[in-house]
Amino acid sequence: MPTNPFRADVLRVFSVSEEIPAGGFGPAGVDPNPIGHVDIDHVLIDDKPYKIINLRGGSLVKFPSTDNHGVVKVKGDSMNQAHPVGIENGDFVLLRLQEAAHDGDIVAAEIDDDDSRATLKYYVERGPVYILRPASSNPKYQEREFTKLNKGFHIHGIVLAIFKPI
């Protein structure tokens, strides 16, 4: 099934509680049964609109307040054929900042060599081997293999969504 390049997914940021008194006092805390949510169908970065592409399936990107997140601008073309729409130079990615990943996740990783470089790649586990794999139309990008996680590279986060220019 082809992906509609103009379809934007929705970023669910906060739940909406039914009410909070502004006169007298009422129950404290967040309503465990919200009446709705704040849903965002695009974001503005430097006054330019970007659509949201969910990489976790479905059209809803949940944004729990208990997690740490960050947004990073992509530079380069090593992931321009990543599923489902490619991650292009100039896109932004929403990361859940964490040090672990599952096989097949797209990760932000720091490679531990002389100058500690960062990259965005697929994370692949093959037995005792860990692989950072590009998905690119450019043949200069090759996968890199490591024998131990945290001995050669560190995961800084996993990609939850892509923000693409509209």
Catalytic residues: 78, 121
Chain position carrying tokens 């976790």? 56
Q: How many CB atoms lie within 10 A of CB 117?
A: 11
CA 137 to chain centre: 21
Distance separating alpha carbons of residues 163 and 61, to the nearest angstrom: 12
| Structure tokens, 12 | 């669910």
Task: Report the DSSP pairing between strands 48-54 and 42-45.
Answer: antiparallel
Chain position carrying tokens 């991650």? 87
| Structure tokens, 58 | 């479905």
